[in-house]
Amino acid sequence: MSNIGFEDFQFYHVKARLWRVICTILAAVLCLGCHTISNHLVARQDGRVPRAPETGVMLGAEARDLGLVDAPGAVLFVHGLVMTGNSFADVPEKVAAHGWRVRVMRLPGHGTSPRDLENVTTEELLQAVESELAALKKDYPKVVLVGHSMGGSLGTLVAANDDVAGLVLAAPYYAVTNRWYYLRRPEKWVRFLAQFMRWGYKSNTFMQIKRREARDQIQGYRWAPTRSLVTLTQLGEQAANPDVLRRVTCPVLLIHARGDVSASPRAAQKAFEQMGSAQKKTVWLENSNHHIFWDYDREFVADEILAFVEAVIDHESHQSHE
């Protein structure tokens, strides 16, 4: 067996270092290329979206006020990440038609351009919901909060620190639904990839809904800043904190699809069980995915929310109003 001499060793050492440099340069070029291309695609997508000329807000994404001004109570709808109030389909209109004041808010960085979302923090999102809640509570003694996906995380955190009449958790996000082929927790992948990628694309294929014909009707960003996914992860972790959950003492309704592949049903169930409320109800959907307001169980979802709001807000005052 021949021995490798010192000169040979130096040659292989230099060759290995050169190869590492080449790989680093190639990776940098690839990342730069992807970054440039994705920036161009985001800009092109932005240019195609119809907007209100005076505000720049996407048509249909505006915050909305519905129902009677002198209603006996109010309901605040909080949408999820990269989505808009359109996520709730016609449920806000149905709630308003039953005599309640309804506010469908627009979260910071949403409904305009994904570029606006890139640097929005967890604190800014929370403050926005708290401000909307405070504004409603000035005129209405009882306010029910309805949160979908990330809106459920925000709703949990707000309900833990503020006085709300009731909390509806619609497919709430506390963690991503895990799959064996992810190899590691999705949240870890998010934090890792956010170091190298600025944007992630969400096509119709990844629109988690069983009723496929509704995919084009659900409004939201096609491109998501990876930083915002890290923010979502942080909110989910904060909301799933047992100390936070114990402080949620208002009546709670959890509506979740067993087959939700986005927001973990298991994590939601665990969080729900740890909440301090004495009045809690769980509704499991069998024929829906994540976008439960648009899926096959949508009528059932609307009925459950209406019944919950009716039970939480003084029914007698509602009848006298009518």
pLDDT tens-digit series, residues 279-314: 999 999 999 999 999 999 999 999 999 999 999 987
Question: What are the tokens at 191?
Answer: 């934090």
Q: Could you tell me if 313 and 76 are in contact, meaning their C-beta atoms sit under 8 angstroms apart?
A: no
Average pLDDT over residues 224-248: 95
Q: Could you tell me if 251 and 279 are in contact, meaning their C-beta atoms sit under 8 angstroms apart?
A: yes
- For the chain, percent helix, then strand, then coil, each to nearest 5? 50, 15, 35
Q: How many Cα neighbours within 13 Å face the side chain of 72?
A: 16
> What is the reported pLDDT for 30?
46
CA–CA separation, 19 and 4 (whole Å): 20
Q: Could you tell me if 305 and 206 are in contact, meaning their C-beta atoms sit under 8 angstroms apart?
A: no
Q: Is the pLDDT of residue 128 over 90?
A: yes
CA–CA separation, 198 and 19 (whole Å): 27
Tens digit of each residue's pLDDT (9 = 90 or more) over 134-182: 999 999 999 999 999 999 999 999 999 999 999 999 999 999 987 766 6
Place of tokens 């833990």: 160
CA–CA separation, 143 and 215 (whole Å): 31
Closest CA to 243 of 207, 205, 271, 283: 271
Grouping H, G, I as helix, E, B as strand and the rest as coil, residue 244 is helix
pLDDT above 70 as % of the chain: 80
Name the residue type at position 274. Answer: Q
**Higher pLDDT pick, 286 / 193:** 286
Tens digit of each residue's pLDDT (9 = 90 or more) over 58-69: 888 999 999 999
Regarding beta strands 199-201 and 143-148, do their DSSP bridges make them parallel or antiparallel, or are they unpaired? Answer: unpaired
> What is the reported pLDDT for 146?
98
Grouping H, G, I as helix, E, B as strand and the rest as coil, residue 83 is strand
